[in-house]
Amino acid sequence: MGTSGDSSSDGYATYQVTKSSGFDDSYLSGGIMKVRVRTTGKTTGSLDVYQVTDFASLTITTGSDPSPSPSPSPNPSPTPVPTPTPTPDPSPVVSFTDATIQAGILVGSKLTWGLNWADYDSDGNVDLFVNRHFDLPVLYHSNGNGTFNDVSQQAGVRILTDRHGCAWGDYNADTFLDLYCSSGAQSGNGSKPNQLFKNNTDGTFTDVATELGVVDGPGRGRSVNWFDYDGDGFLDLYMANFMRNGYPSRLFRQDDNGSFSDVASVAGVAITDYLRSSSWSDYNGDGKPDLLVAAGGRLYLHKNRGDGTFTSNSASEAKLTSDKNFGGAWGDFDNDGDQDLFVSRLYGISSTSYQNNPSILYQNNGDGTFHDVTASSGIAVSMANLGQWGDYDNDGDLDLFVVNGRDRNTGNNVADSLYMNNSDGTFTDVADLAEVAGPTSGNGDSAAWADYNKDGFLDLLVTNGAEGTAPGPVALYKNSGNNNHWLELKLKSIGKNTFGYGAKITITADGKTQFRELTDQVVQYGQNDQIVHFGLGSVSNIDAISIKWPNGTVQQLTNLPADQIRTVLLETGNP
């Protein structure tokens, strides 16, 4: 829509409309549209956001004369003038509605340290674990109708501790997800045991951390990841610990008997540093999962050598030079078949104020190196706690949601960002239009995607209870959707790695190819649902799907209809 002229005497404002605006000619007269608007009190970029309240009826003239035809008064004469119906939506942006209370997510405003989506009881509905810091956590079981019940007490997970990052993973290969949670060791002044909640397959859990050797009480736990780093089929466990001399990060290798041994020193990943978070991906495409660890002063990129060891730090070699880091989110935003990286950066301290630090978007060069495309991408955030990739509008390109933290200069919780992928290497922040900018209260903590109501569109849960100020609310944003098509894949295996962590999925539909890598879906302290989601735009049929399982087996599917949740089973060998 073009710029506005002065409001006319009949209360309508006139706008010059461009061809790309998508308004039907019945609303225009020589390219001029007349509307009444009201302010929403919001802005996006440098633009004020208004809501159209009324369209004027216009008499359409033919020819190339760009001047508007005379407009009728708001109370037209009995002469019939067709009134356009239905009223169009002036914005193409897919929006969200706050469904927190409606869904039964009654956490309120509490200190939080992330959240984890997972279908823990394997009933086909994704459930939710909300991690409350220095408080009892909440496990919400999905009723399958868009609502949840708090089952924390009967499930046996209500343990009060200095809890930090958690992650779901099926360590014992019984097809039911287990939950590992880290603790912070009383700010490094004591000892608090981590928990491994073994799923009893009946809706309850038992803490087996001591029995299996993964307590790490003195470690100042931050972020947790499940992955099979050595390719033996068993899920192993990485624990990123914050600075405490003598208690570095841990790599718990799972033994054949189901217990774990810390091999971090032997593997080359025993770091003593101000570690914030961790995530993993096969960034160089050699078939082995690599580990990214974000520390305040640097990034650690542990490249997997394939012999049970990692490089101490390949970040410089890969041209990942960011500092003041909070987390890293992997995703193929340009659909070229390799994983790109968004690094969230929060703040540094000067003698006079807190200095904001722009987050960085690194594009994968396909040769084991990256280059910084932040400036050309249009992504501009400088108080980011976390980024999460997801195709929220189902157009076939990954979008990026960014949780921003509290600005310590102003004391306000910075508005979150939703960067819509423009399919040309650039992004547009549509958080205001999509109604997910979040509250000014609290301190942005974490977020994660899940299609909790199974309508094919990704929904979003955001926590605002990070330390530093009075906590803000937990919010569940339900995606309102559009007419685009979609596909969701659940990977299952009869082997040890039952959820196929490490699988690589490529789909082709109407000439467009998309790539996903199924990790444990943990980014910093937020864990997305383990379903692999693809948006398809207007395409209603998928020509081909290729799944490369962790053991190297390649499975092909062809000619699948869109708009379905499909389970894909690997029946031979361990994935």
Q: How far apart are alpha carbons 134 and 565 in whole angstroms? A: 37
Which residue type, as a one-letter code, is found at position 511? Answer: G
The alpha helices in 358-403, defined as continuous H runs, are 374-377
Q: Which of 393, 423, 392, 388 is nearest to 403 (CA)?
A: 388
Supply the mean pLDDT for the chain. 85
pLDDT of residue 5: 44
pLDDT of residue 235: 98
3-state secondary structure of 19: helix
pLDDT digits (tens, 9 = 90+) for 228-246: 999 999 999 999 999 999 9
Output phi, psi for 401, to 5 deg. -100, 130
pLDDT of residue 115: 95
Q: How far apart are alpha carbons 3 and 11 in whole angstroms? A: 17
**Dihedral sign from CA coordinates of 21, 24, 25, 28:** negative
Domain boundary among 460, 479, 498: 479
Domain annotation covers residue 264: yes
Domain boundary among 424, 444, 479: 479
pLDDT digits (tens, 9 = 90+) for 409-429: 888 899 999 999 999 999 999
Q: Structure tokens of 56?
A: 């004027």
Q: How far apart are alpha carbons 188 and 195 in whole angstroms? A: 18
8, 13, 14, 17 alpha-carbon torsion, rounded to 10°: 180
pLDDT of residue 357: 86
CATH number at residue 545: 2.60.40
Domain annotation covers residue 286: yes
CB 263 within 8 A of CB 254: no
pLDDT of residue 68: 38
Q: How far apart are alpha carbons 442 and 414 in whole angstroms? A: 9
pLDDT digits (tens, 9 = 90+) for 318-331: 999 998 899 999 99
91 pLDDT more than 60: no
Q: How far apart are alpha carbons 377 and 398 in whole angstroms? A: 13
Domain annotation covers residue 24: no
Domain annotation covers residue 56: no
Together in a domain, 369 and 506: no
Stronger pLDDT, 65 or 423, i.e. the higher one: 423
Together in a domain, 515 and 437: no
13, 16, 21, 25 alpha-carbon torsion, rounded to 10°: 90
pLDDT of residue 573: 57
Q: In total, how many domains does the chain have?
A: 2
**Dihedral sign from CA coordinates of 340, 397, 535, 544:** negative
Domain annotation covers residue 448: yes
| Distances 70 to 8, 28, 82 between C-alpha atoms, Å | 12, 12, 15
Together in a domain, 321 and 445: yes
Together in a domain, 429 and 334: yes
Domain annotation covers residue 107: yes
Together in a domain, 146 and 290: yes
pLDDT of residue 129: 97
Percentage of the chain exceeding pLDDT 70: 82
CATH number at residue 408: 2.130.10.130
Q: How far apart are alpha carbons 468 and 575 in whole angstroms? A: 43
pLDDT of residue 350: 52
146 pLDDT more than 90: yes
Together in a domain, 400 and 324: yes
| Least trusted range by pLDDT, from 67-81, 85-99, 112-126, 388-402 | 67-81
CB 386 within 8 A of CB 298: no
Domain annotation covers residue 393: yes
What number is the average pLDDT over the span 324-351? 88
Together in a domain, 397 and 433: yes
DSSP string over 26-94: GG-BTTEEEEEEEEEEEEETTEEEEEEEEE-------SS--SPPPPPPSS--SS--PPP-SPPPS----
Residues in the chain: 575
Block residue for tokens 């079981």: 141
Domain boundary among 479, 513, 541: 479
Q: How far is CA 541 from its chain centroid?
A: 26
Q: How far apart are alpha carbons 102 and 105 in whole angstroms? A: 8
Domain annotation covers residue 55: no
pLDDT of residue 433: 96
pLDDT of residue 353: 57
255 pLDDT more than 90: yes
CB 345 within 8 A of CB 360: yes
Together in a domain, 356 and 404: yes
Range of the domain at 276: 96-479
Together in a domain, 469 and 516: no
pLDDT of residue 468: 81
Together in a domain, 189 and 228: yes
* Spatial strand order in the sheet of 446-450: 96-98, 475-479, 459-463, 446-450
Q: Are strands 446-450 and 32-44 parallel, antiparallel or unpaired?
A: unpaired
For 78-157, strand residue ranges (E) read 96-98, 112-118, 127-132, 138-142, 148-150
Q: How far apart are alpha carbons 242 and 274 in whole angstroms? A: 5
Band (119; pLDDT cuts 50, 70, 90): very high
pLDDT digits (tens, 9 = 90+) for 504-530: 999 999 999 999 999 999 999 999 999
Together in a domain, 389 and 517: no
pLDDT digits (tens, 9 = 90+) for 193-242: 999 999 999 999 999 999 999 999 999 989 999 999 999 999 999 999 99
pLDDT of residue 348: 61
Together in a domain, 405 and 546: no
What number is the average pLDDT over the span 242-261? 95
Burial of 308 (0-12, 13-18, 19+ CB in 10 A): middle
